[in-house]
Amino acid sequence: MNYSEIDEFTKEFKKLRKKYPSLDEDFRNVKEIIRCYPKGRGEKHWNLLKKKESVFVYKIRVRCRSLRSTEIRIIYQFVEIVNKVNFIEIYYKGDKSNEDRKRYERIFNESI
């Protein structure tokens, strides 16, 4: 599995990591779960936001040990034919109520 992230994701991650020290390890765990189940496990923690052919955009609830809850959200794109995950957005649900639709639409449209 190949992983990448857009610049906005990197900046958001660094900012959140300062507030929530366990986020590095939590994110490594998320990557491992996505490696095993890139399209989710059919549970409420994964929401399919957009799909076209072999390109999918998901929103996933992430458990953050520093918060002791699943208040962190990650938006990622999975390109099935090349087995690649592109991280688009990460945010704390208490700071932002919804994902940046324009951002994931832009990334999605660039990939098809």
The two three-digit tokens of residue 44, written as one number: 């409420």
In 3D space, the residue among 81, 32, 33 whose CA is nearest the CA of residue 56 turns out to be: 81
How many domains are contained in the chain? 1
Per-residue pLDDT of the chain (112 residues; tens, 9 = 90+): 999 999 999 999 999 999 999 999 999 999 999 999 999 987 788 999 999 999 999 999 999 999 988 899 999 999 999 999 999 999 999 898 899 999 999 999 988 6
Question: CATH number, domain at 43?
Answer: 3.30.2310.20
pLDDT of 62? 92
Domain containing 23 equals: 2-111
Q: What is the pLDDT of residue 70?
A: 83
Rounded CA gap, 23 and 27, in Å? 6
Backbone φ, ψ for residue 111 (5° rounding): -90, -10
Place of tokens 């995950």: 85
